[in-house]
Amino acid sequence: MLAFAAMKTLLERIGDRSAQVVVVGAGYVGLPLAVEIAGAGFVTTAYDRMIAKVNAVRSGQSHIADVPSSVLGPLVAQGKLKASDDPGVLGQADVVIICVPTPLNKTKDPDNSFIVDAAEMLLPRMRRPQLVVLESTTFPGFTREVLLPKLSSTGLKADEDFFLAFSPERVDPGNPKFHTHNTPKVIGATSPLGLEVAVALYRTFIERLIPVSSTDAAEMVKLLENTFRAVNIGLVNEVAMMCGRLNVDTWEVIDAAASKPFGFMPFYPGPGLGGHCIPIDPLYLSWKLKTLKYNARFIQLADEVNSSMPEFVAFKVADALNDRGQAVRGAKILVCGVTYKRDIDDIRESPALDIIDHLRHRGAQVAYNDRHVPRLDHDGTTIPSASLDRLADFDCVVIATDHSDVDYVALVEKSRLVVDTRNATRGLRARFPGRIVLL
């Protein structure tokens, strides 16, 4: 009876929009989510320890490219969206959604300390009834095995006093088509009643929901999605190495294969993996399987191939310079694009940074250009973005990220040598024979 009473109370508060929501973490995942929830009519607070983020939200200014200030500002002015660095706001929350980073440590093992810290902060402020949702990526079983017992240590009973769910974030920064509202949302909970409450909440601001049977299943969904991508990117990166040895155009092969209307999905090679998901999430899964004495061989092999790509690019540059009678040591090289994908400002795990390191290790003088990153803090130094007007000063240009605002015709025209890791110079190789080297 207590469980049904708690569920009924939360459903009523969700239904009439009187439920107060706190999103823990105001970053790439948390802020877009908080904006959607506030836009659905809930008083929503974005909690973050970084006062700069909090002050930006309070002033109606978005620090996330995918959240326009023109959308955020009115919600703040209406009092629907708030921001705070005071954990006391958790004490007034009917719903707490945790959106904190889950990186890898130096040994490539999962680091769930941010989730644990958020839970510890929540413990003395939990109240009945409450819905807690974890969106941060983690290994299958974490919500049930770690988070549930921790929250239950308060003396409050799961599925009587509080409900716990896991709903993996599916943020794709810079995607003009899919965003929080129209990206289907997977939800799992530790009980059928918890799932009903979580679905009722997310239904208010997400177009399509996909409920699954458990938090373990929802955690596995997220890891499968990004493992699928990592493994296939690893495959096509190795195909690029094969094509190089066979003197075959990788991109031509992929484009021709993609004409098959069934049984083939094109993936494209690149200088390595970057961002907050694809290089990291599969290793969460392989780590978990190691604890069960199972070796996730595809994941490990894909990680080896993808992790080797920045060094492979550096070898490509060295070989291309050598073919022109020039050593990489002392060469002036410009890396064009340092974010991990096009048209965003995020450099997390960007392979371009590793390319810079590998080239410098070989004695090259390396600069970069990226209008999305005016200044780069890397390896203890701050470097300003170089102007593309200086292309004639460089012995080689490496296209590491194919931003859409770059004039690649002009870039090739003004460059002595271009190593293109993204096929940004498609259609230009016949026009500039011998000047472009593909991955």
Active site amino acids: 277
Alpha carbons 436 and 429: distance in angstroms, whole number: 6
Alpha carbons 16 and 41: distance in angstroms, whole number: 9
The DSSP string of 109-176 is -B--HHHHHHHHHHGGG--SSEEEEE-S---TTHIIIIIHHHHHTTSPPBTTTEEEEE------TT-S
Sequence-ordered list of residues with C-beta below 8 angstroms from that of 257, at least 6 positions apart, any chain: 264, 266
Q: 41-56 in b/e burial notation, b at 16+ Cβ within 10 A?
A: ebbbbbbbeeeebbeb
Instruction: Select from 138, 131, 84, 72 the least CA-distant residue to 109.
Output: 138
Instruction: Select from 249, 421, 253 the least CA-distant residue to 340.
Output: 421
Instruction: Select from 75, 66, 18 the least CA-distant residue to 46.
Output: 75
Instruction: Select from 351, 394, 395, 342 the least CA-distant residue to 371.
Output: 342
Is residue 186 classed exposed, middle or buried when 0-12, 13-18 and 19+ CB atoms within 10 A define those classes? Answer: buried
Instruction: Select from 385, 71, 426, 376 the least CA-distant residue to 251.
Output: 426
In residues, how long is the chain? 439
424: region left, alpha or beta (phi > 0 left; psi from -120 to 50 alpha): alpha
